[in-house]
Amino acid sequence: MNAVVPFSAALRERSSSAHSTAECDGFMADLISGAGTRDDYIALVVQHWFIYEALEAATERMRNDPVASVFISDKLTRLPALEADLEFLIGAEWRQRIAPLPTTQAYVSRIRRVAATWPGGFVAHHYTRYLGDLSGGIFIGRLMQRRFGFDTNGIGFYLFGDIADPKAFKNVYREQLDAAPWDDEEKARVIDEVLVAYRFNTELFEDLARAKAAQVA
């Protein structure tokens, strides 16, 4: 008899290729390798603000949903840290100086539409962003800290001071995924939405690279 694969493991396996593609994109690869600039980093932080504004507004709407609310933790909230980072990186007038790229606009629209009606879709985007933040995101934050001489200002987005053990937190999250009351069809829909989220992330890095090239030209 074949062992039943936990949903969290199936999700991780199905999305691993898309995750690797996003991480290996030219813009992000340059930022991680040291070829990227401080301005490149700021451009990424700006787009994150629009994404997390939509995601965390959706989080508020889902707090009373019996399925989605299980995954919600105020320890994950990123928007205040992003706003502090932008004030440090750009200045007090940062709100007047930022704009979403086309992919960010589409990504935000997708989050808002999905989270308005579909708890599983909300969880898909919640999972993609926050578990990524608690994994590679923490590593990226440390790299940016060293590369650009930041203390904590400028990288607050990557600092999870209220989560003492990110690995344990992620393990609990995966247990919650395994316990979610979804049938096989709904699980497949959730996985597909995670792949959509990863595609948006990959396309965002492509947008950032094009915007950078346009500034240089």
pLDDT 10s digits, 153-212: 999 999 999 999 999 999 999 999 999 999 999 999 999 999 999 999 999 999 999 999
Determine what percent of the chain is predicted with pLDDT higher than 70: 95
The interaxial angle of helices 102-117 and 119-132, nearest 10 deg, is 130
Q: By CB neighbour count within 10 A (0-12 exposed, 13-18 middle, 19+ buried), where does 168 fall? A: exposed
Q: Does pLDDT of 20 surpass 80?
A: no
What residue segments make up the domains of the chain, in order of their start? 8-212
- Compute the mean pLDDT over every residue in the chain, rounded to the nearest whole number: 93
> Model confidence over 104-158: pLDDT tens digits?
999 999 999 999 899 999 999 999 999 999 988 999 999 999 999 998 999 999 9
Tell me the torsion sign for CA atoms 54, 90, 140, 153: negative
The CATH code for residues 8-212 is 1.20.910.10
Q: Is the pLDDT of residue 18 over 80?
A: no
Query: Residues 73-88: what's their mean pLDDT?
Result: 98
On whether the pTM is more than 0.85, the answer is yes
Contacts 24+ apart (CB under 8 A), 164-169: 166/134, 166/135, 166/138, 169/75, 169/134
Q: What percent of the chain has pLDDT over 90?
A: 83
What pLDDT is attached to residue 23?
Answer: 62
